[in-house]
Structure 1
Amino acid sequence: MSSQAAPASAAAPINRPMLTVSIMLATLIQTLDSTIANVALPHMQGSLSASQDEITWVLTSYIVAAAIATPLTGWLSDRLSVKRLLSLSIAGFTIASAFCGLSETLAQIVGSRLLQGIFGASLVPLSQSILLDINPREKQGQAMAVWGMGVMVGPILGPTLGGWLTDSYNWRWVFFINVPIGAFALFGVLTFLPAREPKHGVKFDAFGFATLGLAIGAFQAMLDRGEQLDWFGSLEIRIEAILAAISFAFFIAHTATAGRKSFFRYELLKDRNFATGVSFIFVIGAVMYATRALLPPMLQTLMNYPVATTGLVTAPSGAGTMIAMMFAGRLLKRFDARLMLLAGFLISAFALWQMMHYTIVLSASDIVWPGVIQGFGLGLVFVPLSALSFSTLTPELRADGTATYSLMRNIGSSIGISIVQTLMTRNTQIAHADLAANVTAFNPALQSMLPNGSTYDMAVLNQSITQQAAMIAYLNDFKLMFVATLLVVPLVLLIRPTKKAPDESLAHAAMD
């Protein structure tokens, strides 16, 4: 699958600044929508007359559709050309966003979110592929820093922007905000991205896509609904797990026997840097992104933070990420990328160590600074990893490679979030039982309350126990993330720096 974006040396001059702004706007609306709707769910639930279980399909429909459609990016970019595919994706995503805001029923918004996921699936991998293609090798580190800002900061700022829009206007503006941004992005892509002829002879591997899409969709649905349905205690979850396993087994067998006719480009796995980078980004998604899912519910349920305030105190972590990415390209010029990865993981581990010592009473600075530190560490990890993963990949494999890279990051994130949420629920129950076991008439601190305590007193006592139990569960999750972060540090040794020469190496990429 070849990338259709012109390289820097193409005959027609490329307006790199305007093209970069345009495709990053497209990336921003896609990444924002992965989290911006989360804080508005309670408002949607009342407006659409949906149950708590039903309203979660507003999130899961988008995630599942995007997961299934992402592997199509490579084939579609060959078949349609990158410019046509990107333009179609932006236009479709923008229109689907408008439909989401205009929805009056649950079925309408779920259908619109499915369209959002399908059209938005190609935006992130295409933006990465285009930035790599339009920049010379010595500037690709800088390009990956710019791309990383959009990918990493979007999900972080989503809850803040979503909370503000919901409080100041209503939940529909969570989706309407995409319309003007999408329009600007579409205009920029149509104006500044050079057109290239598509490859009409590329055949579509329907069986490979069907088996991979079914495996990803069933697995994603299992992860999204597992916590609600008590995992393998539910028939639905067992069916989804079996379906995912069988479909993936068929996909592996088909890929191994179909050769070049396979939907998946197995040549990607022959590139050691890319194969290692994909494994690494999966771990990063599972270990680091999961912590982002813990703070908002902790602040809102345990400490009664309003939605808007929760967004304000968690958003500065995005500032840490942006600061790190601004300097990461320059640091790649002077330091081994593996040292930057090591430093980023250790900094993130230190932030998680601080979170392990949270209490029920927290000041704003107690929340902001660990977030900024973790964001800084994440920025140090993301830029060198992205640059090294694609440094040895041939241009014709980039669109397939970026799609696979994005897919593995998203799956890793889903797995990590599912794990911490499951442990959160179960550890809260365990901690509650342990704490309640001490609430007896034999406890001197409670002897005066228990025999004569009113129903109200006992309710207040139970609420306090529940609050403390939930806090213990959150701290256990932070501890798990801390340990897991330290355990993946040795994987840095699997990354190989790009070989000589220094003037051609991404490891020595300079920033003007």
Structure 2
Amino acid sequence: MTESSIGEAQRSAITFALILATILSTVASTIANVVLPQIRASTGAAQDEISWVLTSFILAGAVVTPALGWLEQKFGRRHLLLASIVGFTVSGMLCGLATGIVELVLFRLAQGAFGAVFIPMSQAILLDINPPQRHGQAMALWGIGAVLGPIIGPVLGGWLAENLTWRWVFFINVPLATVAFFMVAAALPKHEEVEIHKFDAFGFGALAVGLIGLQLMLDRGPRQEWFASSEIWIEFGLGLLGFYLFFVHTFTARKAIFDRQIWVDRNFLTASIMIFFIGMLMFAGMAVLPTLLQSLLGYPVLHSGVVQLPRGVGTLLSMVLVGRLHGRIDQRLIVLAGLALTGWSYAEMSRFSLQMDEGLVLISGLLQGLGLGLIFVPMSALAFTTIAPQLRTQAASLFTLVRNVGSSIGISFVGALQIYNTKIVQSQLVEHVTPDNPIAAGAVDFASVRALAAMMQAIARQAAMVAYIDAFHLLFWMCVALAPLVLLMRTKRIVV
């Protein structure tokens, strides 16, 4: 399928269908964030378990991404996209019907696996059906679809949870998916026979074991007291073994799932390291913020979604700005500006308190959106500047994989850190609330059970806020540490 084999009307129909599929994926990855407290209450999930609703979706996408090239060869883009839309919709409905956290996580895994097809496949198809001089315009249109998810997701999720139930954040996919299915079926041409290369099952399996072992360790660690538990040691061992076998196989096998030349490209390697941590910056703060707003500050679910809207608006504005600056300014400077804005946003978030108004949430969200938008597009361009054209498809899959892994690990790590720090701070605060402390004795009636319960609740809220602030401090210093890596990248394109 090339730009010369389809007409303008068909090209427009395909573009609209692919943008819709992209919106499905990005909304699904963000819409559940704002309703995590409601899901936790409904399913009886523990605090350390509720993040699985987010990490399972991202992890499944990360595991499936390396196999997309072979799946495309085997089934064709049209059939693969149609099957993915159906699977994504059915698994999403099952998420809405789930009664327990285990069921919900299993169905989110399935939804993430099917949804992993949408973004890389949409990009590849749009580049194929448009001539080179229109690639920028095509990617700009696609980028709007990708950015709409973070804008729509929190607000839509909050509205659905407040007016219906949290289950509708999953049911809402059905009408959009139905339209996307019929448009893809009508617009995309049928499968053309291509040579099918042998699938690197060993490399794929080793990578999957490594990713799953690492994610399970991070998700289960807080509940199992980390390495005091034999379960964590087993998961840690599986993760190490999987990654060891994957890298040894990659650098010794005749035909690995990712070409060895990709790993030694300085630009790509540096950009991949950065996108791993940028994935953390993108999702870790966004994952914990709804719980902070609703549980500690008492925001209604819809209002907590609305105050996160500036983050998506900022991303959209900065992506438009990046398009205008393309070719006029060194992309490394744009990335540095984005890191500065993102760091500024987390510095502002570290000023959160139980007495603050929503102004600080709005300002920090806008700054963060502006920063991440300035980082993402130039970083993606720099990653592929020196990659040989024949390796770009593999490199794109690996780049997406690294970003997804960073996002998933970031959510788990920050969630675990928040739980751990809350316990430490709460213990330290309780030590000072004793009858022989004049300040405590003057403020609390130690003879009243009700007064003691209220005191312990206030201490728990203060401890949780301090733990959130510590997490935001960490993310701020991560932005600072990433800045020097930008200078290692080159801007000169490879000669084709």
Q: Is the 8 A contact 1:148 1:383 kept in 2?
A: no
The residue that corresponds to 2:115 in the other structure is 120
Q: Paired residue for 1:205, among 200, 222, 233?
A: 200
Count of aligned pairs: 495
Shift of 1:396: 4.4
1:164 equivalenced with 2:159 (yes/no): yes
More divergent stretch after superposition (362-371 vs 47-56): 47-56
Corresponding residue for 1:326? 320
Instruction: Report the Cα offset of residue 364 of structure 1.
Output: 2.0
Query: What is the percentage of aligned positions where both structures have the same residue?
Result: 44
Q: Which residue of 2 aligns with 1:399?
A: 393
Q: What is the identity, as a one-letter code, of the residue corresponding to 2:398?
A: T
Single out whichever of 76-85 and 37-46 deviates more from structure 2: 37-46
Query: Which among 71, 74, 78 is matched to residue 79 of structure 1?
Result: 74
Q: Which residue of 2 aligns with 1:67?
A: 62
- Establish whether residue 462 from structure 1 lines up as the match of residue 456 from structure 2: yes
Amino acid at match of 2:236: A
What secondary structure, in the 3-state scheme, does the structure 2 residue paired with 1:293 have? helix
- Confirm or deny: 8 A CA contact 1:73 1:400 kept in the other structure: no
The one-letter amino acid paired with 2:427 is A
For 1:281, the equivalent position in structure 2 comes to 275
Q: 1:184 aligns with which of 172, 179, 184?
A: 179
Partners in 1 of 2:43 and 2:222 — Cα distance? 23
- With the length of structure 2 as denominator, give the TM-score of the two structures: 0.90
Q: Which residue of 1 aligns with 2:429?
A: 435
Counterpart CA distance in 2 for 1:166 and 1:468 is 27
Q: Is the 8 A contact 1:428 1:469 kept in 2?
A: yes
Q: Pick one of 226, 247, 252 that aligns with 2:247.
A: 252
Aligned equivalent of 1:221? 216
Question: Which residue does 2:284 correspond to in 1?
Answer: 290
In the superposition, relative to structure 1, how do residues 148 and 496 fare at CA in structure 2: closer, same or farther (>3 Å)? farther
**Structure 1 pair 411–163 and aligned structure 2 pair: CA distance change class (3 A):** same
Deviations 1:235-287 (CA, angstroms, capped at 9, x unpaired)? 2222111011112211222222212x222233333544333322221121123
Contact 1:273–1:392, Cα closer than 8 Å, also in 2: yes
Q: Is the 8 A contact 2:426 2:459 kept in 1?
A: yes
Partners in 2 of 1:472 and 1:84 — Cα distance? Answer: 50
Residues 40 and 342 of structure 1: is their aligned pair in 2 closer, same or farther, counting only changes over 3 Å? closer
The residue number in structure 2 matching 1:230 is: 225
Give yes or no for the alignment of 1:480 onto 2:474: yes
Amino acid at match of 1:213: A
Distance 1:104 1:43 in 2: 13
Runs of 5+ consecutive residues of structure 2 not aligned to the other structure: none
Identify which range, 165-174 or 345-354, moves more after superposition: 165-174
Q: In the alignment, is the contact (CA less than 8 A) between 2:318 and 2:374 conserved in 1? A: yes
Could you tell me which amino acid in structure 2 is paired with residue 324 of structure 1?
S
Question: Deviation string for 1:460-484 (max 9, x for gaps)?
Answer: 2222222222222221211111111
Q: 2:262 aligns with which of 268, 272, 275?
A: 268
Q: Where in structure 1 are there 5+ consecutive unaligned residues?
A: 505-512
Distance 1:94 1:20 in 2: 20
For the 8 Å contact 2:435–2:446, the answer to whether it is kept is no
Does residue 173 (structure 1) correspond to residue 168 (structure 2)? The answer is yes
CA distance, structure 1, for counterparts of residue 104 and residue 431 of structure 2: 46
- Residue 313 (1) aligns with residue 307 (2): yes
Q: Is the 8 A contact 1:355 1:475 kept in 2?
A: yes
Mapped to 2, the partners of 1:448 and 1:140 lie a distance apart of: 69
CA distance 1:138–1:476, change in 2 (3 Å) = farther
Q: Which amino acid aligns with 2:317?
A: I
Q: Distance in 2 between matches of 1:474 and 1:106?
A: 24
Q: 1:492 aligns with which of 478, 481, 486?
A: 486
Identify the residue that residue 356 of structure 1 maps to in structure 2: 350
Q: Which amino acid aligns with 1:404?
A: L
